[in-house]
Amino acid sequence: MPSLRYDADRDFYWLVAKPWIWLPRTIEIIATLLILVVFLIFQGSSKDEDIQKNLAKRLLSTLTELGPCFIKLGQALSTRPDLVKRHWLEELTKLQDNLPPFDHSLALKTLEEDLGAPAEQLFEEFPESSIAAASLGQVYKARIGKQNWVAVKIQRPELTFILRRDLAIIRILGIICSPLLPLNLGFGLGEIIDEFGKSLFEEIDYENEANNAEHFAKLFANNSSITIPKVEKQVSSRRVITTTWIEGVKLRSRKELEANNLDPEALIKTGVTSGIQQLLEFGFFHADPHPGNMFALKGRTGDLGHLGYVDFGMMDSLTDKDRLTLTGAVVHLINKDFEALAKDFQYLGFLAGNANLSPIVPVLEEVLGGSLGESVGTFNFKSITDKFSELMFDYPFRVPARFALIIRAVVSQEGLALRLDPNFKIIGVAYPYVAKRLIAGDTKEMLEILLEVIFDSQGNLRVDRLESLIEVMLSETTSTNTEILPIAKAGIKLLFSTGGSALRRSLLLTLIKDDHLSAYDIKALIKLIHRKFSPGKLTLEMFKSLNPLSA
């Protein structure tokens, strides 16, 4: 069986040596895309609904005919209602799980070759047709035992060959055409295609997907609002993966969710919160969160709806350094500390290590400060990516290749939320999550960021920033009593915990200024506590946190 590792150089030389393969395929791709471009040029701006519907169908059929690589591009576009016209979006959504199936006999042949026995011997019940077909495989609803329903995903025939061929051709065309394209990405178009190819080859290795699913399930094991299907390893292989069946509603439209008595806002919050948790806490994330890969489930945990994830082929990881720097960057953005934010960009590789930050800080303040406005809730990730794409022409910004899937995941997550709620702002959910983790100080790194936020370089307490953290957390709910006490309790626990020694030391040092006692900061802190918390309830929570018998 051919290697599943993506290697651009290997595939280039493999393809060049076979002109009977690449020449007709290259002509087919160029001709097909040129025909589509002509229609888009002459009809794309039309306001006639029938013309737009026909264009959408042509776009869908073009991507479908060109195969998996192009279908994946269409899937990415299908998560962006702010980029793609409504009629086009409706058609592109079909690329998520409504593609033409391949021959059932070929699926059974692949299953038997990989698992060593025919379907009727391995399953109690196996259907005669698939329930859904996607870009890389098709899914069957089968049964193991009396009640154990499972999803069996079987890979499309000759997929490795198709991907090697098309990625090599696309890469060559991309490199040739890149000087003619209005792009200034900070790195070559070939690098983007390489990152895309690497993720695609990882996605077609179902053994890798099974490992991803199991790791993902462990991360969310204690989260009742997230469901991850269990992998049935005895009937899984490199080209076949079997998992428990998830019965739910796909996140395709608000009307469909409401028709099934499901709350779109609660589901959006779960999806975005879990996505942020993957990036900023776990460092392991689902890079393809489109509506075909997420199901709304019955039930609710507090203000969170219940979601089920499927399809774990496209996953990626962040280093601890990147994860913590991103967390700090969110805090610096909200606090409008643009000098610290510029340093974050430098650490992450968006700015060169030797770049002069002096002219860049005012630019960040103008672009990001204006987008942030007076409220956290006004921030929109899409508007920021648009502005940064313009800045790249005039300033030394670049996008590190390792962030390609991270940006895809965040943009897809925001796009999915916008599909359900056009007024959704992602940072309005992201920052309260980060703020709660900072107040809890649940890791050494979070405590370090908290100290950086609420104390300046001279050791002065930034009461205004501490108040901002609390207000952001309280803005999520209309029930003050239910939110204030957990926040107060978390802060008190942190202050009196072993790990809170640095916080206690910093607070103590605020009392000593120039070898004299100064209670100014402490008085300001006490006033903040009186403004935001009920003293009686706060005292009770403090007693409970210090008294081990209260548990």
pLDDT at 297: 96
Residue 79 lies inside a defined structural domain of this protein = no
- Give the pTM: 0.78
Across 456-460, average pLDDT:
71
In a domain, 85, yes or no: no
Identity of the highest mean pLDDT range in 178-182, 365-369, 492-496, 543-547: 365-369
Assess contact for 490 and 440: CB atoms under 8 A: yes
Instruction: Give the residue with greater pLDDT, 539 vs 156.
Output: 156
Domain end, chosen from 195, 222, 245, is at 245
Q: Given CA atoms 270, 276, 280, 284 in this order, what sign does their dihedral have?
A: positive
Question: Is 222 part of a structural domain of the chain?
Answer: yes
SS3 string of 510-524? CCEECCEECCHHHHH
Residues near 441 by Cβ (< 8 Å), separated by ≥ 6? Answer: 447, 450, 494, 497, 499, 500, 503
Q: What is the C-alpha to C-alpha distance for residues 248 and 242, in angstroms, rounded to an integer?
A: 18
> Which amino acid is located at 264 in the chain?
P
- Concatenating the DSSP letter of every residue in 5-59 gives S--HHHHHHHHHT-HHHHHHHHHHHHHHHHHHHHHHHHHTT---HHHHHHHHHHH
DSSP string of 75-113, one letter each residue: HHHTT-TTTS-HHHHHHHGGGTTBSPPPPHHHHHHHHHH
Residue 57 lies in a domain: no
pLDDT band for 551, please (50, 70, 90 cuts): very low
Which one of 25-29, 36-40, 170-174, 482-486 scores highest in mean pLDDT? 25-29
Structure tokens at 534: 């009920």
Q: Is residue 20 part of a domain?
A: no
227-285 confidence digits (pLDDT tens)? 999 999 999 999 999 999 999 998 888 999 999 999 999 999 899 899 989 988 899 99
For residue 463, pLDDT beyond 50: yes
Q: Is residue 15 part of a domain?
A: no
At 433, is the pLDDT very low, low, confident or very high (cuts 50, 70, 90)?
confident
- Return the closest-CA partner of residue 269 out of 227, 303, 300, 298: 303
Output the six-digit token pair for 387: 């502005």
* pLDDT higher than 70, residue 316: yes
Q: What is the pLDDT of residue 438?
A: 74
Q: Catalytic: which of 11, 288, 311, 316? A: 288
Helices within 373-497 (DSSP H only): 381-391, 404-420, 427-440, 444-454, 463-474, 480-496
Number of C-beta neighbours around residue 406 at 10 A: 19
Domain that holds residue 533: 441-550
Number of domains observed in the structure of the chain: 2
What is the C-alpha to C-alpha distance for residues 405 and 286, in angstroms, rounded to an integer? Answer: 9
Is 82 part of a structural domain of the chain? Answer: no
What average pLDDT does the chain have? 81
* Tokens 């699913």, residue located: 213
For tokens 């956290």, name the residue: 376
Active site residue 288: yes
Residue 33 belongs to a domain: no
The CA dihedral of 291, 242, 277, 417, to the nearest 10 degrees, is: 0
How many whole angstroms separate alpha carbon 181 and alpha carbon 62?
Answer: 21
CATH no. for residue 233? 3.30.200.20
The angle that helices 189-203 and 8-16 make with each other, rounded to 10 degrees, is 90
Q: Where is the domain boundary, 214, 245, 276? A: 245
- 3-state class percentages of the chain: helix first, strand second, coil last, to nearest 5: 60, 10, 30
More confident residue, 306 or 377: 306
Where helices occur in 355-403 by DSSP H, the ranges are 360-372, 381-391
**Nearest Cα residue to 303 out of 264, 255, 256:** 264
Mean pLDDT of 162-184: 81
Taking only the tens place, the pLDDT of each residue in 34-67 is 999 899 888 888 888 888 888 888 988 999 899 9
Among the candidates 190, 214, 245, a domain finishes at 245
